[in-house]
Structure 1
């Protein structure tokens, strides 16, 4: 009886042929996570690259972005030890300004909970890899009443370069949704232009009132001692970048206003507060009327008492 000896090489060939003869599908695509998993990942991990799809199926632009991320996933993991996942979570996507059929798909790079929107081509793996790997930290400056003039030198001619400044306030949902966008603008113009944020309600109230900012978010460009306001209807990374580079020439030029006196600043603060809290005007008016009536009543009472005393003296 003949005995067949199976060598390791022959075994490998047989295994390969067996796999070819059996129908199977190779796992394709990024790891898909639900909303809770994504939130947990953002809270716990330092670097997370998330592909948001505008539907449960990844088609069209989403498919292109996923294919590109697959090509560079290992490089991203090796360089940053980052997670690279895909999700369909409209609530989370909306927080980063990704909503609607046209903008619902996109890649957000989370760095220590700070989002950066990828605004490059969907099918260029080299560009995407360079964009992610070279932006591990935020390039957006935080300006306040204390350091605004020192860092920008706006009134003296902006010798520190051009500054695109986004003015926000605490209860501005639109401002929060644009955080990833302004980070994208800063990443695009790194080492060319300065990008910053001023929060009116934390430590930038005087600066906000100095430049007459009434609506939020507002974008102002400070360039060579002059001021330019961004008044275009659309706000995206491409439009803001174009405005900062050349588009400002089509905007009206303004002189840099000097800081307000404490009295003028307080007066404008009161006016802004009353404008933003119209319901409080009615209450304030009622209090004012009550105080006036009390004062009048007290004056009449005092006058009556004085008259009685004078009458008694005459008697």
Structure 2
């Protein structure tokens, strides 16, 4: 379900007016968008100070689609620069970029601060039209893919209680290894974009969030990168007579998302429908971490009890003897008093 956004209305009207004035036969200048080196691209991504739209392509003889889609990229960029005053800088790079999941050509990726988005229109020329690309860019700029940590995971997801934070698509990946986290982020970004306002998309760095990683370790297919889907189920409550009540309770189901063919379409197909065809798992319970202060207090208390028992053993023995003697005397006096009363 798409939600109405006035930004897209304005974009659409602007595009129609531009086409009406300048005509639909677009002629592009191949030198209007500069090329960028791999090292400069990495530096800009690391700084996070610049929003970039990059077109990755190959040799036209070996990649006819690269040549066919390049004019559409130029046209979309021209409109984009006019509408957002150059806030998104555009480049071209004539090679793959496996570090961020660009393993096939052509591809278009938006790098926006610390989030990247892989355009999911490759192979379908019709969706490379100006309005589709611009809508994708605008939605991407409003779609953060948040990181979940040991401190925030359960608070935000409520995965163990089934509370009302919605469904979650969560990537567990090791940031310390180049092949684990970064190559999957562009797909996760666009998955978040396509599911915006319907489902939550996030990632967990398994190299730093040790508690969460340990909690889900038994169900993670890989320690490098694994994708889990946490589905919230609303269960209606029934009265003893069988009538539905006005309230219900929630529970959660956990699914492993296949990553054999990891793409925007395969992830969306699974979380929107495919999960119903596989068995779900139970969400691992929250593992309570030991409190060091409480442990120290318990050790101190146990030590005190042991010391007290050792030093007061003799006193306790004599106290028990005296107690028994007193009870014996009281019993003797009671029996004697009863005999006198009878006589």
Report deviation, 1:171. 3.1
Choose 1 or 2 for highest CA Rg.
Answer: 2
CA contact (8 A) 1:34 1:89 kept: no
Pair 1:66 & 2:70 matched: yes
Report deviation, 1:209. 1.6
Alignment of 1:185-196 (within 5 A): 185-196=191-202
> How many matched pairs?
233
Query: What secondary structure, in the 3-state scheme, does the structure 1 residue paired with 2:281 have?
Result: strand
- Hey, what's the Cα distance between the residues in 2 that align with 1:108 and 1:141? 19
Pair 1:111 & 2:98 matched: no
The Cα RMSD (Å) is: 2.5
Report deviation, 1:190. 0.8
Task: Check 1:36–1:148 CA distance in 2 against 1; reply closer, same or farther (3 A cut).
Answer: closer
Off by >4 Å, runs of 4+ in structure 1: 39-45, 56-59
Pair 1:252 & 2:279 matched: yes
- Hey, what's the Cα distance between the residues in 1 that align with 2:159 and 2:229? 10
- Equivalent of residue 84 in structure 1, options 90, 94, 99: 90
Report deviation, 1:188. 1.1
Give the corresponding residue for 2:311.
none
Q: Deviations over 1:63-120 (max 9, x none)?
A: 2332222222233123152222211143xx1111112xxx232001111253211112
Give the corresponding residue for 2:210.
205
Give the corresponding residue for 2:227.
219
CA contact (8 A) 1:56 1:88 kept: no
Task: Check 1:27–1:233 CA distance in 2 against 1; reply closer, same or farther (3 A cut).
Answer: closer
For structure 2, which runs of at least 5 residues remain unmatched after alignment? 1-26, 233-251, 291-343
CA contact (8 A) 1:49 1:110 kept: yes
Q: Deviations over 1:173-203 (max 9, x none)?
A: 132211111111111111111001011222x
Give the corresponding residue for 2:129.
124
Report deviation, 1:137. 4.6
Give the corresponding residue for 1:164.
169
Name the TM-score, length of structure 1 as normaliser.
Answer: 0.67
Q: Deviations over 1:138-172 (max 9, x none)?
A: 42121112111111111111421110110011333
CA contact (8 A) 2:28 2:71 kept: no
Pair 1:53 & 2:57 matched: yes
Report deviation, 1:127. 0.7
CA contact (8 A) 1:46 1:113 kept: no
Task: Check 1:108–1:168 CA distance in 2 against 1; reply closer, same or farther (3 A cut).
Answer: same
Give the corresponding residue for 2:180.
174
Give the corresponding residue for 1:271.
none
Report deviation, 1:57. 6.7
